[in-house]
């Protein structure tokens, strides 16, 4: 991936988050295919991460977090966000039969990639259960 992509990525990601917040505020339920959003994001971010790991190595992130106060703060922020999101998602995941430990390991190993995949799987299973329940009622 060209270096110029990495120059615009932070601002693009921030704009994407603002857009997502707007969509979530306007339409909190995206329907039975909502799982596609985190699934696609997980796949795209995985692709970006493969490129970064190929260029900077699998532990290249660690030096960034040791660089100074901001690096340490960002590391703590990422851990708090991943822990909070996982804690909020786990009850829903358990309710649809997902085993928590493999998903927690995926989040620990890959951060947002694992968390997005976990959210996608949970939303997919919830949608499938809802569809099956509606068919059973008929």
Q: Are residues 67 and 2 in the same domain?
A: no
In whole numbers, what is the pLDDT of the chain averaged over residues? 93
Tokens coding 58: 């699998």
pLDDT tens, position by position, 5-55:
889 999 999 999 999 999 889 987 878 899 999 999 999 999 999 999 999
Q: Are residues 39 and 98 in the same domain?
A: yes
List of residues 6+ apart from 38 with CB closer than 8 A: 116, 117, 119, 120, 123
Q: What is the mean pLDDT of residues 95-103?
A: 98
Q: Are residues 101 and 132 in the same domain?
A: yes
Q: Are residues 40 and 18 in the same domain?
A: no
Query: Are the CB atoms for 42 and 113 separated by under 8 Å?
Result: yes
How far is C-alpha 43 from the geometric centre of its chain's CA atoms?
10
pLDDT tens, position by position, 84-98:
999 999 999 999 999
Q: How many domains, the chain?
A: 2
What is the span of the domain harbouring residue 4? 1-30
| Alpha-carbon span 138 to 131, nearest angstrom | 11
């Amino acid at each position: 991936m060209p270096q110029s992509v990495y120059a615009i990525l932070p601002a693009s990601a921030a704009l994407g988050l603002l857009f997502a917040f707007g969509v979530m505020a306007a339409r909190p339920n995206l329907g039975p295919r909502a799982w596609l959003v985190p699934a696609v994001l997980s796949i795209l971010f995985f692709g970006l991460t493969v490129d970064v790991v190929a260029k900077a190595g699998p532990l290249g992130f660690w030096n960034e977090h040791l660089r100074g106060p901001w690096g340490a703060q960002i590391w703590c922020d990422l851990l708090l966000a991943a822990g909070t999101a996982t804690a909020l998602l786990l009850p829903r995941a358990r309710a649809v039969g997902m085993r928590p430990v493999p998903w927690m390991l995926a989040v620990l190993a890959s951060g947002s990639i694992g968390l997005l995949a976990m959210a996608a799987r949970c939303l997919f299973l919830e949608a499938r259960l809802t569809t099956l329940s509606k068919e059973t009622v008929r």
